[in-house]
Structure 1
Amino acid sequence: MEALPGKVAGVIFDMDDTLFDSEKAWHEAAAALWREAGGVFRGHDDRGGTVEDVANDYLDEFGFEGAREDRMAEVCARIEASIRERLRTDLEPMPGADALTSRLARVMPIAIGSNSPQAIVEQCVHAVGWQDRFKAALGVNEGMNPKPAPDLYVEAARRLGVDPRDCVIFEDSPTGARAAVAAGAFVVTIGEAARGIGSAAVDTLEHDLITSWTPEKLT
């Protein structure tokens, strides 16, 4: 396993199931939507996708009347509202996330780059009082290409004032890990789903490779 860099310009985190145990809220929101239509949600093919990805699956399965664009907007709004409602009462940091982000924020700029909508990113960060830790907390905004495109991570690095090639990025999904690799960063994958895509892999943020990592700010 490759050691993490000793000097980095910044660190960027994915959010869902990297910093927060929030992926289950996505699954529960989709499952509820499918039940209302008389179906069974069997999971989205691409973990780490967007609200639009889930809405497209829904429309493909159940059909729609009128313009697809209008129906997409309605379904996306329902999914996002359902996710946000669940996160209001069920949101916990992933093991090791609090300690790692707190420690890193004291020595270098850190950011979030997530395929979640911006409103969900802000809700999660504020819910646990971490808003002052992150110099940037980005979700997918209109006009921005989501992961696996590198745009989110390139923009997060830009807002940190650094080159993404001088950053470490933490990811748990294949979609996100590919985006991070495309951005040129040193990529640490968490869990089994994206193992083998990045430069290093750990089971959790409590792994010794992470807890013993004491990077210096690259100047």
Structure 2
Amino acid sequence: MNKKIGVAFDLEGTVIDVEECHHLAHLKIAKQLGLNLSVSDAIEKIEHFIGGPDILIMEEILVLSGKSGNSEQLLQEDNKLYKEFLSTAVIKTREGFRECLEELKKNEIALSVGSLSSKDEATYLMRCSGLNKLIPSANIVYRESVKHLKPAQDVFLETAQRMGIDLANQIVFEDSPRGVMSAVNAGSKMVIGMPVYNWPATRNALQIAGAKYIFGSWKEVNIYAIIKELNSL
């Protein structure tokens, strides 16, 4: 007997790649504090560089710089820089995602988004990418929707509830270790890592966090095989 399965997606990075805008802002803040870092340097030296939250990234940049400062003020500047970079970015879903989503919709699989983004930011990204027309608004979970952020389980407890499915029957796609841990903590048996930077270090971090499979591109995802395996568990 097939289970009632639902699929929850993280938004930023996993589905809509605006990571470059975030990372350019973070690196500019770091440079202002005397740190000349590449993205690979930052991933290695700043624990929360992938997946955030941004306030922790600001705190870690301060520690790495060895300088005193106010992380909240840095965060305000970081957000301002991010919006400047975002204003000139092309906002679209990652290659291959829409095809995967259409297959899920064709088979009447419940869909949800579990995001660390604020409602305003997530709504903007979904509207610009056209994703708002593809996933029911009632199934979008924002930062403000939950008490505890990832890696706490709250986000994916909420997505499962909104889809009306058992937690164990929820497939989760995430690009960050904190997001993967959140899904695992919520009881998902099928957590898929979707790194933006398909490097050994980022793949390893997702695997350690609990990702069952890791794909560098949505074109690699065989959603039918994933559903079949979950049905067999």
In the superposition, the TM-score normalised over structure 2's length comes to 0.74
The structure whose RCO (Cα within 8 Å, separation 6+) is larger is 1
For 2:120 and 2:10, the matched residues in 1 are separated by 15
Q: Which amino acid aligns with 1:187?
A: V
Cα distance, 1:195–1:35 mapped onto 2, change above 3 Å: same
Deviations 1:183-208, CA, capped at 9 Å, x for gaps: 11121223524136223333322115
> 1:104: how far off?
2.1
Offset of 1:182 from its aligned partner?
Answer: 0.9
Q: Given the alignment, which residue of 182, 194, 198 partners 2:206?
A: 194
Higher percent of residues as strand = 1
Give the whole-Å Cα distance in 2 for the aligned partners of 1:208 and 1:138: 24
Question: How many residues end up aligned between the 2 structures?
Answer: 206
- Distance in 2 separating the partners of 1:86 and 1:211: 37
Range with bigger deviation, 122-131 or 43-52 = 43-52
User: Match for residue 81 of structure 2?
Assistant: 82
- Whether the 8 Å contact between 2:92 and 2:128 is mirrored in structure 1 is no
- Check whether the contact 2:16–2:94 (CA below 8 A) recurs between aligned residues: yes
Shift of 1:126: 1.0
CA distances 1:75-111 after superposition (whole Å, capped 9, x unpaired) = 3233223223323322332221122223324513312
In structure 2, stretches of 5+ residues that fail to align are 196-202
Query: 1-side partners of 2:224 and 2:164: how far apart?
Result: 26
Alignment match of 1:22 (pick from 18, 21, 25): 18
Contact 1:170 1:190 in 2 (8 A): yes
Identity of aligned residues (%): 22
RMSD (Å), alpha carbons: 2.9
After the TM superposition, which residues 25-174 of structure 1 pair with which residues of structure 2 at under 5 Å, given as runs? 25-41=21-37, 42-43=41-42, 44-46=46-48, 47-60=50-63, 61=65, 62-64=67-69, 71-90=70-89, 91-106=91-106, 107-135=108-136, 136-141=139-144, 144-174=147-177
